Amino acid sequence: MNTTTQKKMPVAEFRRECDRLLRKVGDFHACCSADELAHWKIMSLRVIEEVEKMTCARATALDLETRAQAIVSVRKYLDAADQRIDEYNARSAKKAEAPPRIRSALRLIQGGKLH
């Protein structure tokens, strides 16, 4: 099968797929580690690829504009993801370089006297 073929679908499914792509923006903000962001990037690229291939004979101009805006929005966050991954990696490296904290031993105190 040719990878450049466009996927034809009903307008309701077209809109759902556009919404799915827009939800990726919210998913970006939920990522809290470099690994999660890397996975988000992979999944977002897959969804963009699928959405770009979609065609719908009944899609309105608003539907097509929504799809275009969703693609632009997610691509903007894809660019920001690299910077955020670098920040997470730098933070992890800084933690790894720091000397381990030495915790003092606990002492039992009964009735105000040290034992």
CA–CA separation, 54 and 5 (whole Å) = 9
| Rg, Å, the chain Cα set | 24
% of residues, the chain, pLDDT over 70: 87
Structure tokens at 14: 């077209």
The whole-number average pLDDT for the span 69-75 is: 95
> Are residues 14 and 59 in contact, defined by beta-carbon separation less than 8 angstroms?
yes
What is the pLDDT at residue 51?
Answer: 94
List the one residue out of 45, 104, 96, 35 whose CA is nearest residue 74: 45
Structural domain spans, the chain: 7-90
Give yes or no for residue 4 having a pLDDT over 60: no
Q: What is the DSSP letter of 54?
A: E
CA–CA separation, 32 and 27 (whole Å) = 10
Instruction: Read off φ and ψ for residue 10, nearest 5 degrees.
Output: -70, 160
Q: Is 37 helix (H, G, I), strand (E, B) or coil?
A: helix
CA–CA separation, 110 and 115 (whole Å) = 7
Q: pLDDT tier at 1 (50, 70, 90 boundaries)?
A: very low
Give yes or no for residue 113 having a pLDDT over 80: no
Q: pTM here?
A: 0.73
Sign of torsion over alpha carbons 104, 106, 110, 115: negative
